[in-house]
Amino acid sequence: MDTAQFITKSFKDSIEKANFSWQTPSNIALVKYWGKSNPQIPKNASISFTLNNCHTITTIKFEKKEKTSSVDFELFFEGKEKEEFKPKIADFFTRIQDYCSYIFEYKMTINSENSFPHSSGIASSASGLSAIAMCLMSLEHALNPTLTKEFINKKASFLARLGSGSASRSIEGPLVVWGTHPNIEGSSDLFGIQFPYKVHSVFENYQDAILLVDKGEKQVSSTVGHNLMHDHPYAENRFQQANENMSKMVEILQNGDIKAFVNLVESEALTLHAMMLTSTPYFVLMKPNTLEIINRIWEYRKEHDSNLCFTLDAGANVHVLYPELEKESVNQFIENQLSKYCQKNHYICDSVGYGAAQL
C-alpha cells in the first residue's frame, strides 16, 4: 500500500511560531466498520454521513524548539488541563511520527472543545482526532506551500485514521467512504474519500436527531469491540455482508430508493449490535429505552407512511435519520413521544454537514 506518499521530507521553509484552529465534525456510519487489522486497516468498507452541529474545535499553538526524541505537548480540554486524555493523544503522535517527523521540532499546546456535552455518550474521538490532524496539516502546509488541498485532506484523513478508524471519515462531507471497495472508485483502506457519485436529492440535507438514552462512559471501548471480531464465529460472513451492503448503498444513494435505504441502515445497526451480542465475552449495549424508541419509530413509520429510520453506534443512544421534507413532523414526534426515553429528555438535532473548516 502506498503509504510512502505521506512521509514528509525536509522542508526549505522554517516556521518559528504558528497557531492553527479547525472545526471538524462527528459522523454517523450507515454501513458500519467493526473489525480491523494492524495498523488500523478496516476489515470492510464503510460509509457515513458527516454531521454538522456535533463537532470539535481545536487550536494548536506550535513553538519551534530543539529536536528531541519524544513529542512535547500540553493538552487543555474546555480550558482545563486534561491529564487523563493525554495517553490517547501521545499514542496517536507515536503512530503518526513517521509521517509527520516535524512534530519532534515543536512544542505543541492543544486547546480543544466539543459542541456536544462531554458526557453525552457521543464518541468524540472522530471529531477530536480529525481536528488535530487538520491542525498538523496546516503546519505542514505552512512548511511546504506546494501541498494541494486534495493532498492535505487525504493525508489528514490518513493521519486521523491512525488515531481512530472512523476519524478518517471526519474530514470531508456530506458522505464519506473509507475502505477499499471494488464498486467505489478511488476508495482506500488508508483514508476516507468523498462518495464519488451523484447523490439523489432525497438525501440532501438529511436530518439526524441523536437521542441520548445513556450519557455514561461507553460500556465497551472501540478497541475492545474491534478486537472481539478476531475469532468471532460470524466475523467473515459479517465482513462479506458489509461489503455487499456497500454495493447496495452505492445504488440506493444514486437512485433515491428510500425504502431500501431505511431497511439497509436499520439492518446494519442491528447487525453491529448482533456482533456484540454473540462475541466472547458478550455485551448488550442497548438499554430498555433504546428498544422503546426503536418500537415507537417502527409504529410511527407505519402509521404515517414515513421514511424515518434509526441507526446505532456501539452504545445505547439512537440516531434518528429522516429526510428534510419530514423535518417538522418528525421533530414534533421526537419532542412529544421520544424525548421521554432520553436521559433528562436530552436529544441533539443535527443534519448532514460538509466537513472540516478552518477558523
Which grid cell is 308? 424515518
| Residue 314 in the binding site for ligand PMV (CB under 6 A) | yes
* CA atoms lying within 13 Å on the CB side of residue 45: 25
Amino acid at the residue 67: K
Of 121, 165, 323, 355, the one binding ligand PMV (CB under 6 A) is: 165
Measured between alpha carbons, how far apart are the two ends of the chain, in Å?
33
Nearer to ligand PMV by Cβ, of 252 and 314: the residue is 314
Amino acid at the residue 59: T
| Residue 46 in the binding site for ligand PMV (CB under 6 A) | yes
Of 25, 32, 246, 333, the one binding ligand PMV (CB under 6 A) is: 32
The answer to whether 166 and 314 are in contact (CB under 8 A) is: no
Surface-to-core class of residue 260, CB atoms within 10 Å of its CB (0-12 exposed, 13-18 middle, 19+ buried):
middle
Q: Which residues pair with 31 in a beta bridge?
A: 47
Q: Give the alpha-carbon dihedral of 268, 254, 322, 31, to 10 degrees.
A: 20
Nearer to ligand PMV by Cβ, of 225 and 323: the residue is 225
| Residue 166 in the binding site for ligand PMV (CB under 6 A) | yes
Give every CB contact of residue 295 below 8 A, 6+ residues apart in sequence.
none
Q: Give the alpha-carbon dihedral of 116, 119, 120, 126, to 10 degrees.
A: 60
H-assigned helices in the chain: 86-96, 125-143, 149-163, 222-227, 235-255, 258-277, 288-304, 327-333
* Least Å from the CB of residue 48 to ligand PMV: 6
| Residue 313 in the binding site for ligand PMV (CB under 6 A) | yes
Which grid cell is 182? 471494488
Of 164, 170, 188, 279, the one binding ligand PMV (CB under 6 A) is: 164
Contact characters 255-274, ligand PMV, x per CB under 6 A? -----------------x--
The answer to whether 219 and 315 are in contact (CB under 8 A) is: yes
Phi, psi (rounded to 5 degrees) for 145 = -65, -5
| Residue 222 in the binding site for ligand PMV (CB under 6 A) | yes
* Least Å from the CB of residue 91 to ligand PMV: 13
| Residue 207 in the binding site for ligand PMV (CB under 6 A) | no
| Residue 29 in the binding site for ligand PMV (CB under 6 A) | yes
Nearer to ligand PMV by Cβ, of 7 and 90: the residue is 90
Q: Which stretch binds ligand PMV (CB under 6 A): 69-77, 163-171, 201-209, 332-340?
A: 163-171
| Residue 351 in the binding site for ligand PMV (CB under 6 A) | no
Nearer to ligand PMV by Cβ, of 141 and 287: the residue is 287
Contact characters 270-309, ligand PMV, x per CB under 6 A? --x-------------------------------------
Q: Which stretch binds ligand PMV (CB under 6 A): 8-16, 158-166, 236-244, 337-345?
A: 158-166
Residues contributing to the site for ligand PMV (CB under 6 A):
29, 32-34, 46, 123, 125, 164-166, 222, 272, 313-314
